[in-house]
Amino acid sequence: MTSTAASAAVLVDGGYELAEGGRWVDDRYVYVDILSGRLFELRDGARPATPRQLAVLDVPLGAVAPVGGTPGAWIAAAGTGIALLTADGVLEWLDRPEDRTPVPSRMNDGVADPGGRFWAGSMAYDGTRGAGSLYRTDHDGTVVRVLDGLTIVNGPAFTADGTTMYLADTAAGTILRCRVDPDSGDLSGGPETFARLGEADGSPDGMTVDDEDCLWVAMWGAGAVRRYHPDGRLLHTLTVPAPHPTSVCLHPDDNRLLVTTARYGVPNPTVASGAVLSVPVPVRGTPACSWRGRRQSGPPGSGRAGSRRGGVYFQGTPPVE
């Protein structure tokens, strides 16, 4: 295992409280600021690197994935459930399963898999152990609870063939690996422990898989990003100039790692805390997968028929200063 200090550049000094969910979508980098419910894009090669605000929600926004065949539309892990954000500004809830939990909870990180499904985790606001779950949104918009008994669910990251999913339980310091049937989306057996982290290692947060099938993990509290071999060996630790890196994204055509960070919980934040960092690396990633949905209306009360406008603003908002 090797360890180096990253020659990280501050790409966006946003002062974000909890930037997260960085993904490469077409020719742009997309990310969120969870607690303020904001969605941003940063066009590739833009000089200066000025992000554009795409949406503001009146609920926390954990992560998004593009909706296949519908430019400008997103599927989102937001508030207490899963919603569609359309290009004309309509918010449509598919389901809000965290409304039915015993403790106040919200959705957290999420990603689409190569088969076109959307996976997202949840957590209790107070970090209640075992209150977090992992959900899968199928092509027809049905939201299925796949795993429960977790605490703070982060990262879902998939190999390119869609047969392996990595999942972080941040509070438990554990990275899980699940075998997935790429046709049905069902898990083949239960999750296995891929890596278990000690307190001094930090806590695993957002993750991505590179073009060599190795796993990159943002380590909250440790100011580091780790790279693991598929067999579980720790290959490299990259130190970054912010204590709370939250997500990692590898550029598909350039050797760059983009890292979101948080100001949340940092007593003396610097310019790199709550920023987007750019780090040169020797590998590349793949663009974000899309949710490929076949939209259907559900019965009254299902959470899938009641589109509404309000609390969401799309396009045309000024750049972040």
Distance (Å, rounded) from C-alpha 158 to C-alpha 281?
20
Distance (Å, rounded) from C-alpha 248 to C-alpha 70?
26
Distance (Å, rounded) from C-alpha 61 to C-alpha 39?
8
Distance (Å, rounded) from C-alpha 260 to C-alpha 277?
6
In the annotation, is 58 catalytic? no
What is the DSSP secondary-structure string of 142-160? -EEEEEEEESBEEEEEE-T
Which is it for the CA torsion 201, 229, 210, 254, positive or negative?
Answer: positive
Neighbours of 56 (CB within 10 A): 16
Point out the catalytic residue in the list 27, 205, 210, 231: 205
**Residue of 86, 11, 18 whose CA lies nearest to 51:** 11
Residues marked as catalytic: 205
